[in-house]
Amino acid sequence: MAELSMEAFTDTVINAMGPNTSPRVREVMTALIRHMHDFAREVKLTTPEYLAACDFVVRIGQISDEKRNEGILASDVFGLESLVDFLDQAASSAEVTPSATSEPTSSAILGPFWREHSPILENGASIVQGGPQGESVLVQGRVLSIDGKPVKDAMVAVWEDAPNGLYEQQDPNQPEYNLRGQFRTDAEGRYAFRGWRPVPYPIPFDGPAGDLLQMMDRHPNRPGHFHFRVRAPGHQELVTQVFDRESKYVDSDSVFAVKESLIIDFKPAPEGTDTQYVVDYDIHLQPSKT
Ligand code: MBD
Ligand code: FE
């Protein structure tokens, strides 16, 4: 058999897909195969390098469990989760209605530390259950539709790392669901919670994601941030993060999630209040797609 040309070889692999493949799978796989093959040709990938890449994928699986998602972490280091977030947001802001009085709040990546079923707490309650102490902050604001109307019964889920730079599931010394909570907005769309002023921290770098960072001579740090996931009747879900303007690494987030509109200010609280800082933060949601 004559050797196939490089290009013809790629077509042979693509054309091996059968007629029962769905159109989307065909579209995605065609592009994936083409880009993978072009990539290997461009860098003249060697067999040892190819085997190292397979081993990298194996190690992502081996180090992952219900508390550690190395797949998300490694893709974050490549900027892939943030790129997908940009694409998603560009697609959904193309449909912003003319009656809108404000921009929808920008999204940001979910990351590897989200957990479903965090405690449902009263507005104004603290998400601190124990663990290391930090600087206290009260975060408060309203959830509004982009036409300016308050959104009642939105569930605002928040999560953050502890003042030692570890999320609850990374740290055996923190109570289960520490620094996580969900808050239901009232008739004016208000939510409020107390927590610690988030601190910068390194993403876990003792596994394959860390090896990647090291190979590329990059640091593992993220600026201090709160995560939000907001789900409300009649509105599109919002997953985002807000970043402390004064935090180190705001300009060099290791996972490329910072957007200018998501940078917030921690204001010193008035004398005599029971918190050191206050953050006022309104969230603007887009109506559901019809
Ligand atoms: C995080 O805390 C995070 O929020 C993201 C997106 C990636 C790694 C660690
Ligand atoms: Fe995070």
Q: Which residues line ligand 1 (CB under 6 A)?
A: 73, 76, 109, 111-113, 203, 222, 255, 257
Query: Which of the two residues, 115 and 3, has the higher pLDDT score?
Result: 115
- Give the tens place of pLDDT for each residue, 129-174: 999 999 999 999 999 999 999 999 999 999 999 999 999 999 999 9
Helix (H) / strand (E) containing 240: strand 238-244
Distance (Å) from CA 203 to ligand 2 centroid? 8
Cα–Cα nearest to 173, from 162, 158, 160, 181? 162
> Into which CATH architecture does domain 70-285 fall?
Sandwich (2.60)
Pairing, β 136-145 against β 267-268: unpaired
- Give the tens place of pLDDT for each residue, 261-285: 999 999 999 988 999 999 999 999 9
Phi/psi class of residue 279: alpha, beta or left (left: φ > 0; alpha: ψ in -120 to 50)? Answer: beta
What is this structure's pTM? 0.93
Q: Do the beta carbons of residue 290 and residue 276 sit within 8 Å?
A: no
The reported pLDDT for the residue numbered 1 is 46
Atom of ligand 1 nearest to the CA of 72: 7
> Domain limits of the chain?
9-63, 70-285
- Give the tens place of pLDDT for each residue, 39-55: 999 999 999 999 999 99
Helix (H) / strand (E) containing 101: none
- Main-chain dihedrals φ then ψ at residue 212, nearest 5 degrees: -60, -50
Give the tokens for residue 65.
């469990």
The reported pLDDT for the residue numbered 95 is 72
Give the tokens for residue 154.
């939105």
Atom 5 of ligand 1: nearest residue by CA position:
111
Give the tokens for residue 232.
């409300």
Neighbours of ion ligand 2 (CB under 5 A): 111
**What whole-number distance in Å separates Cα of residue 223 and Cα of residue 242?**
10
- Give the tens place of pLDDT for each residue, 78-110: 999 999 999 998 888 777 677 788 899 999 999
Q: Which residues pair with 65 in a beta bridge?
A: 68
Query: Of the residues 229, 255, 256, 258, which should be mutated to test ligand 1's pocket, given the most ligand atoms within 8 Å of the CB?
Result: 255
- Give the tens place of pLDDT for each residue, 11-35: 999 999 999 999 999 999 999 999 9
**What whole-number distance in Å separates Cα of residue 166 and Cα of residue 148?**
37
In three-state secondary structure terms, 77 is helix
Phi/psi class of residue 165: alpha, beta or left (left: φ > 0; alpha: ψ in -120 to 50)? Answer: left
The reported pLDDT for the residue numbered 90 is 87
